[in-house]
């Protein structure tokens, strides 16, 4: 059973950047597609992008593609997302989620990381 542990809560000022990590145990990240999602307070789920570590493929959602970087470090079995030029609307909980290569469903989820953007 794959378990995902994300880094802790962050507070950032507008215009700065934040990096959130997601460490996997019980499985290797090269067996999965790793997605990052955001959930603004009281809102639904918004997909930010994905990385497929075994192929080195990265896709970004249009709403984020100018400001987001998603990657994976096979040596530490860890995925990450970095979001730049932060604004107050970026406040929310950021989740990593893993899909098996055989399905587009998100089978495993991290616990979420709260990012607060405030001056």
Partner 1 sequence: SYVLTQPPSVSVAPEKTARITCERNNIGSKSVHWYQQKPGQAPVLVVSDNSDRPSQIPERFSGSNSGNTATLTISRVEAGDEADYFCQVWDSDTDHYVFGTGTKVTVL
Residues that bind partner 1 (CB under 8 A): 35, 37, 44-47, 50, 59, 61-62, 95, 97, 103-107, 109-112
Nearer to partner 1, 17 or 107 (CB): 107
| Residue 35, φ and ψ in degrees, nearest 5 | -110, 155
User: CB 89 → partner 1: shortest distance, Å?
Assistant: 18
Would the CA dihedral through 100, 83, 91, 24 be positive or negative?
Answer: positive
> Nearer Cβ to partner 1, position 62 or 75?
62
Q: By the 8 A CB rule, do 83 and 64 touch?
A: yes
Dump the DSSP string for 66-79: TTEEEEEETTTTEE
| Token code pair at residue 104 | 């587009």
Nearer to partner 1, 72 or 97 (CB): 97
């Amino acid at each position: 059973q794959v378990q995902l542990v994300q880094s802790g809560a962050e507070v950032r000022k507008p215009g700065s950047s934040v990096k959130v990590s997601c460490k996997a145990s019980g499985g290797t990240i090269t067996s999965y597609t790793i997605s990052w999602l955001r959930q603004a307070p009281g809102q639904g789920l918004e997909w930010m992008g994905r990385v497929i570590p075994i192929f080195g493929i990265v896709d970004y959602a249009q709403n984020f593609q100018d400001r987001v970087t998603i990657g994976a470090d096979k040596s530490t079995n860890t995925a990450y997302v970095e979001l730049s030029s932060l604004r107050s609307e970026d406040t929310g909980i950021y989740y990593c989620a893993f899909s098996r290569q055989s399905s587009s469903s998100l089978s495993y989820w991290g616990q979420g990381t709260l990012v607060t953007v405030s001056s």
